[in-house]
Chains A and B, each alone.
Chain A
Amino acid sequence: MPVNPELVGRAFPPAAPYLVGREKVREFARAVFADAPQHVDPAAARALGYADVVAPPTFAIVVQELTLRQLLAEPDTGIELSRVLHAEQRFRSTRPIVAGDELTGTLSVTAVRAIGGNAMVTSETDVRDAAGEHVVTATSVLVVGEGEQ
């Protein structure tokens, strides 16, 4: 089944809120070799004006992932996970994610383009805090192989 072009513009409900924990930020920071004190030490983060430890710039992928699961759970996407390659990724931030944030991601599919025998699926996850303010937009381009017809 080819990727369904009607995914573009489909409304997805906001994903369940994600509460950013201090230890999760530390764990993620260690995993991406982020050794700046602001990522692990609350006092260092406060000295820079933040309420708590600051998540590394790519941490938003954890919230985006929750919304991509919603996409893959749709019965008619034509996207089979074993044929998906991550081609591009982008984060556009209004402010960094900080421990204590309660974040909600909302997905939209902005493009489905056929290229050769594959489809390029562009999705955007708009991430907002508990006050509804924009934090970051995470954009992914996935290349989906069409597989056997």
Chain B
Amino acid sequence: MTAVGDVVAERSVHLTRESLVRYAGASGDFNPIHYRDDVAAAVGLPGVLAHGMLTMGLAIQAIVPWLGDAGRILEYGVRFTRPVVVDPEAGAVLTIVAKVGAVEDDIARIDLTVTHGASTVLGKAQARIRLV
């Protein structure tokens, strides 16, 4: 039984600069703020940032093993509220907690909380999924 408030998945992901270059290549998003410190500094950023779409993309993976099939994800949306600075040496650790927000018949809303240190980096990160 899936009940509102249940934590269905938790995961931590360690991002490095290599992760950002890999995502740039896979997605085609070659904005240099995601791999060049000089460009990031020139536009006033605190450092090289993870692509918002990388954070969004990896966050939803936390629930896929629990779902058993990514094809059950009907809808997934996020707001990009805080940038994730990826240190050249230490990288950045993102922690994802997935909780059941609502259940109606065979459809559930899963609320994702994605944190980097003490900050939540995605707002209203919600997926609508088929339970069966």
Please indicate which of the listed interface residues B29, B43, B70, B74 has the most CB atoms of chain A within 10 Å of its own CB.
B70
Map CB proximity to B onto A32-58 as digits: 1 under 8 Å, 0 otherwise: 111110110000000010100010111
Count A/B pairs, Cβ under 8 Å. 100
Decide yes or no: A50 and B71 within 8 Å by CB, A30-B22, A32-B61 being known contacts: yes
CA distance A45 to B5 in the complex (A): 31
Residues of A within 8 A of B28 (CB): 62, 65
Q: Is A31 a contact partner of B71 (Cβ separation < 8 A)?
A: no
A28 neighbours in B (Cβ, 8 Å)? 26-27
Closest to A85 in B: B80
In the complex, how many angstroms separate the beta carbon of A75 from the nearest chain B beta carbon?
Answer: 22
Does B60 lie within 8 Å of A39, measured CB to CB? no
Binding site for B on A (CB under 8 A): 24, 27-28, 30-36, 38-39, 48, 50, 54, 56-58, 61-62, 65, 82, 85-93, 95-96, 139
